[in-house]
Amino acid sequence: MNKSKKRLYFIDAMRAWAILMMLQGHFIDGLLDPVFRDDSNIFYAVWKYFRGITAPVFFTVSGFIFTFLLIKNPIKGYNNPRVKKGIIRGLQLIGFGYLLRLNLLGLLFGEIYEAFYLIDVLHCIGLSLLGIITIYLLSCKQKSYVFPIILGGIATGLFILEPLYADASFGFLPKALANYFTKNNGSVFTIIPWFGYTAFGGLIAVLFNAYREKNKFYSITIPASLVLGLALIFFSSDVFMWLSNVTGIYLFEAIQNNNYLFIRFGDVLVLFAIFMTLRKLLTNKTIITLGQSTLSIYIIHFIILYGSFTGVGLYRFLSHSLPPFIAILGAILFILACTSLALQYEKQKNIYKEKVNTIFISSLKKMEPNILFTIKQLRSFTFKLLRKLGLVKN
Instruction: Answer yes or no: are the C-beta atoms of 255 and 240 closer than 8 Å.
Output: yes
pLDDT surpassing 50 at residue 1: no
Residue 375 lies in a domain: no
pLDDT, mean of residues 315-328: 94
Q: Please say if the pLDDT value at position 5 is more than 60.
A: no
pLDDT band at 230 (very low <50, low <70, confident <90, very high): very high
Has residue 379 been placed in a domain? no
Q: What is the pLDDT of residue 387?
A: 67
Mean pLDDT (whole number) for 113-132: 94
Alpha-carbon gap, residue 194 to 198, rounded angstroms: 7
Model confidence band, residue 386 (pLDDT cutoffs 50, 70, 90): low
Q: What is the mean pLDDT of residues 40-68?
A: 95
Q: Among 227-231, 252-256, 346-350, 375-379, where is mean pLDDT lowest?
A: 375-379
Helices 146-160 + 121-139 axis angle, to 10: 140
pLDDT surpasses 60 at 246: yes
Q: What is the per-residue pLDDT for 381?
A: 65
In a domain, 387, yes or no: no
- Average confidence (pLDDT) over 38-46: 93
**Sorting pLDDT into bands at 50, 70 and 90, what band is 102?**
confident
CA distances to 121, 224, 348 from 299, rounded to whole Å, are 11, 36, 16
Domain membership flag for residue 350 = yes
Task: Kindly report whether the global pTM for this prediction surpasses the value 0.75.
Answer: yes
384 is a domain residue: no
Please give the tally of structural domains in the chain: 1
The one-letter amino acid at 1: M
Residue 278 lies in a domain: yes
- Selected residue with higher pLDDT from 3 and 131: 131
Query: Would 28 be classed as within a structural domain?
Result: yes
Range of the domain at 142: 3-367
| Mean pLDDT for the stretch of residues 55-75 | 94
| Distance in angstroms (rounded) separating the CA atoms of residues 139 and 163 | 29
Q: What is the mean pLDDT of residues 182-207?
A: 95
Distance CA 60, CA 205 (A): 10
Q: Does residue 352 have a pLDDT over 70?
A: no
pLDDT at 311: 81
Say if residue 257's pLDDT is above 70.
Answer: yes
Per-residue burial over 225-264, b if 16 or more Cβ lie within 10 Å, else e, is bbebbeebbeebbebbbebbeeeeeebbebbbeebebbbb
Mean residue pLDDT of the chain comes to 89
DSSP code string of 36-67: G--TTSHHHHHHHHHHHHHHHHHHHHHHHHHH
For residue 390, being part of any structural domain is answered with no
